[in-house]
Amino acid sequence: MRDIFTEARKHIGFFSVCLVILVGVSTFRELLDSYKSITDVVWVFTVVLVPTATAFYVGAQIFMYLVLKNDTLVLKNDTLLQLSTHSHFRKYLVKTLPLALGFISTGLFSLLASTTTWPEGQEASKTVIYAVCAKIISGAALVSIAWVLGLAAARFKEFYLRLFIYMGGFALIVGLQIAALWKFSDLDSVGWVVGGSTSFAGYPVYCGPLGIALATPFTLSYSGAYVISIFLNTVWPIFGLLAIICAPSPKQKITHGVL
């Protein structure tokens, strides 16, 4: 566990600042009731920009670790982990677990703060539990997608080609998940919103790290959007594990003279 805590210390500053911003804006929004029109606007931008920044940070960290691992600055930052003979699965856990927890923590705060605008009723507690679980799974999906794309991009030498594969791959995967969700759940006539709102805009589903509020009744039907979105996100941690299993172990690389 020591290596995981060591990795977590590298990122605790960034995620702590993100949480402080969210907590601060949320607190001022509640206290400064006379400036509600202004604080509401600031809150909406905060819950859009801060989670976006955390998702970008997670993606950038994994890109640097997997794709830019031969860069001197990157190697200096991850020397022990890069040169260790830990299994790929162990390295995956060490690198991604702190990032996923940071992303999930900031996302859960902005999510739970918005539940005050959700309709009350018998389904309220069930809906909140679902939303929390969906957010946690979206964090696992984010690091898994980033890891799979990082392994794919690292096979190429040209930097901009690597960047295109990585960033273009993210856009393609999220786009395909959205298309699949709309196709299988028949959401053509359903209202939706991406980002924050000061009023109830619908319950959230996640396509990768992207949250989409759907203005449709909450249901746990297997053919409904809420369950299908979780299934689509669960696929990526499985792909990530398969990619790790199929990769040659560090000991095999050393045996063949490759560091």
For 38-56, the pLDDT digits (tens) are 888 999 899 999 999 999 9
Distances (CA, A) of 223 to 179, 213, 245: 15, 18, 32
For all residues of the chain together, what is the average pLDDT? 86
* Secondary element (H or E) of residue 206: strand 203-207
Summarize pLDDT for 79-115 with one digit per residue, the tens. 556 556 667 788 888 889 999 999 999 999 999 988 8
At 258 the pLDDT is 44
**Tokens standing for 243?**
């990619």
* Secondary element (H or E) of residue 41: helix 36-66
**Tokens standing for 150?**
């990082």
230 or 75, greater pLDDT: 230
**Tokens standing for 139?**
């964090």
The structural domains of the chain, with segments of one domain joined by +, span 2-255
All residues at 6 or more sequence positions from 67 whose CB lies less than 8 Å from its CB, including other chains = 150, 153, 154, 162, 166
At 197 the pLDDT is 76
pTM, two decimals, is 0.88
**Tokens standing for 103?**
């992303």
Residue 73 reports pLDDT greater than 80: no
CA distance 81 to 33: 49
Token look-up 């449709």 returns 216
Summarize pLDDT for 170-212 with one digit per residue, the tens. 999 999 999 999 999 988 888 898 877 778 888 999 999 999 9
CA distance 184 to 187: 8
In 144-179, which positions are buried (b, 16+ CB within 10 angstroms) versus exposed (e)? bbbbbbbbbbbeeeeeeebeebbeebbeebbeebbe
- Judge residue 246's burial from the number of C-beta atoms within 10 Å of its C-beta, 0-12 exposed, 13-18 middle, 19 or more buried: exposed
CA distance 41 to 67: 38
